Amino acid sequence: MRINSPIPKRRARLEIIPLIDIMFFLLACFMLVSLSMIHMHGVKINLPAAVSGAPEHRTDFVTVSIDALGGIHVEKERVDPGQLYARVKSLHDANKDVRIYIRGDKDALHGEVVAVLDKIRAAGVEKVGIVIRQETVP
């Protein structure tokens, strides 16, 4: 004999609206985190501007920054000018296809930037670029 329950049976429902809200929240968090990680490769310097500068977003590179006082930084670590060649040479030995971007402050001396470029080229790195900020045309 079968006894029926006085409580009506209900089918389980999957609520889709809270699921969509959570997915949009996760997407927004992911976008904010990924955008904040773009400028974490070097120290904060005042880049010179040029109208012809086109933005390039690459993640497989090493930045060498020269601040206004002539200090040299590989990524965010300060490096003595005498140790720059050895540091770049070890990067080149680890990866023959390493790309190095030079970020020179607009108040840095031209000779300091050229000296850094010369040491990088002497270490065997062939893919070297200079980073500028794009200037808007009025």
Structure confidence at residue 60 (pLDDT): 66
The span from the CA of 15 to the CA of 48, in Å, is 53
Residue 129 pairs in a beta bridge with: 101
Domain boundaries of the chain, sorted by first residue: 49-134
Structure confidence at residue 34 (pLDDT): 78
The CATH T-level fold of domain 49-134 is: Nucleotidyltransferase; domain 5 (3.30.420)
Structure confidence at residue 27 (pLDDT): 94
Inter-residue contact 47 to 131 (CB < 8 Å): yes
DSSP 38: T
What number of other Cβ atoms are within 10 A of residue 91's Cβ? Answer: 18
pTM of the model: 0.56
- What confidence tens digit (pLDDT) does each residue in 29-86 have? 988 887 766 555 555 666 666 665 555 555 567 888 898 888 899 888 888 888 889 9
- What confidence tens digit (pLDDT) does each residue in 10-32 have? 777 778 888 899 999 999 998 88
